[in-house]
């Protein structure tokens, strides 16, 4: 299997800066860049299957697929101030990353794939036309997320977020993650293990065991400060951002999603960029973009002329 190249850059913050890691697939000088941004407690290797498929299906000019580990996750630094784990800061990091990638090889086509939190970051970036992007985002994939987020789903996520745990083996950790992630839909044991391995790091690097989740437990602090009232207020701003989006937009939804309601998804097809909606049966929050039909849907959207 082709492996991605791990890179990093330093992003500014109030505490003196932090290092953000990102995984790069495909042709490093391609003018077609697809930025894939993961969910709240996940990391950039979630997109391995999609990235490989994009690289295999790309035309003569090739493609560059970049999958960052959002700060506090994966191979990126943990923030000194946990209150920095907020959408505006994440969006600023993505702008810094895009500036770096533009300097390395000019971008003429920019697409964005965002799962859950990654989709919210995409709305922040795409919904502000004055931001210093190399080029405007052409096509946007919002994976099971919209401007209105169901409060019970946030309560559910808050029940486990920040509990890094310790596990005696990768398989034990994979089983524990499946217990809280079965809404992702059907996966073979091999698929789930592949998604689980990058989520872990050894507590004792010398011995390689036990294992813990590969994110800063402090990402839960700002998340758990949210209230139902503040969440509803934030949705007003998110709808404004969504309505400003000019990119052609594909909205993916797990038919059983508890985070993106059917009503919100329908509204997203009727306003703003008038998203094309595609739902997957037997899946909740959120599609992992591993199943063949999910990968094919994204490829058809991003690679269509």
pLDDT tens per residue across span 25-64: 999 999 999 999 999 999 999 999 999 999 999 988 899 9
Q: How many domains does the chain have?
A: 2
Q: Give CA separation, 80 vs 10, 97, 218, 266, 305, in Å.
A: 14, 20, 10, 40, 44
Residue 204 — very low, low, confident or very high, per pLDDT cuts 50/70/90?
confident
160 belongs to a structural domain: no
Same structural domain for residues 41 and 179? no
Residue with tokens 């996520």: 157
Residue 210: domain span: 165-214
Distance CA 268, CA 274 (A): 6
Final residue before a domain boundary, out of 214, 234, 254: 214
Distance CA 182, CA 230 (A): 28
- Residue 23 CA from chain centroid, whole number: 13
pLDDT tens-place string over residues 217-265: 999 998 989 999 999 999 999 999 999 999 999 999 999 999 999 999 9
Q: Both ends of the chain: CA-CA distance in Å?
A: 28
148-171: average pLDDT = 90
208 belongs to a structural domain: yes
pTM above 0.75, yes or no: yes
From the list 31, 96, 94, 16, the residue with the least C-alpha distance to 61 is 31
Q: Is the pLDDT of residue 184 over 70?
A: yes
Least confident of 23-37, 102-116, 151-165, 256-270: 151-165
Helix then strand count (H, E) for the chain reads: 10, 10
From the list 249, 84, 45, 235, the residue with the least C-alpha distance to 154 is 235
Q: Which of 127-141, 151-165, 169-183, 193-207 has the highest mean pLDDT?
A: 127-141
**167 Rama class: left (phi>0) / alpha (psi -120 to 50) / beta:** beta
């Amino acid at each position: 299997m082709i492996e991605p190249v791990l890179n990093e850059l330093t992003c500014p913050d109030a505490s003196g800066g932090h290092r953000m890691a990102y995984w790069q697939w495909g042709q490093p000088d391609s003018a077609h860049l697809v930025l894939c941004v993961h969910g709240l407690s996940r990391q950039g290797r979630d997109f391995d299957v999609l990235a490989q498929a994009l690289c295999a299906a790309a035309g003569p000019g090739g493609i560059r697929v970049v999958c960052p580990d959002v700060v506090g996750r994966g191979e990126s630094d943990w923030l000194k101030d946990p209150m920095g784990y907020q959408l505006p800061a994440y969006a600023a990091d993505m702008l810094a990353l895009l500036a770096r990638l533009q300097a390395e090889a000019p971008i003429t086509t920019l697409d964005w794939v965002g799962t859950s939190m990654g989709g919210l970051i995409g709305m922040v970036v795409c919904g502000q036309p004055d931001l210093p992007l190399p080029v405007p985002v052409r096509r946007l994939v919002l994976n099971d997320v919209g401007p209105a987020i169901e409060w019970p789903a946030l309560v559910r996520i808050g029940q486990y977020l920040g509990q890094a745990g310790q596990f005696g083996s990768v398989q034990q950790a994979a089983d524990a993650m499946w217990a809280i992630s079965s809404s992702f839909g059907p996966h073979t044991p091999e698929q789930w293990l592949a998604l689980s391995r990058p989520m872990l790091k050894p507590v004792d690097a010398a011995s390689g065991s036990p294992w813990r989740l590969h994110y800063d437990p402090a990402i839960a602090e700002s998340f758990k400060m949210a209230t139902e009232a503040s969440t509803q207020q934030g949705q007003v701003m998110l709808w404004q951002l969504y309505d400003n989006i000019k990119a052609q937009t594909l909205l993916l939804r797990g038919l059983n999603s508890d985070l993106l309601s059917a009503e919100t998804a329908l509204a997203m097809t009727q306003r703003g960029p008038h998203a094309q909606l595609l739902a997957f049966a037997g899946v909740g929050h959120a599609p992992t973009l591993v199943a063949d039909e999910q990968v094919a849907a994204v490829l058809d959207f991003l690679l269509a002329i």
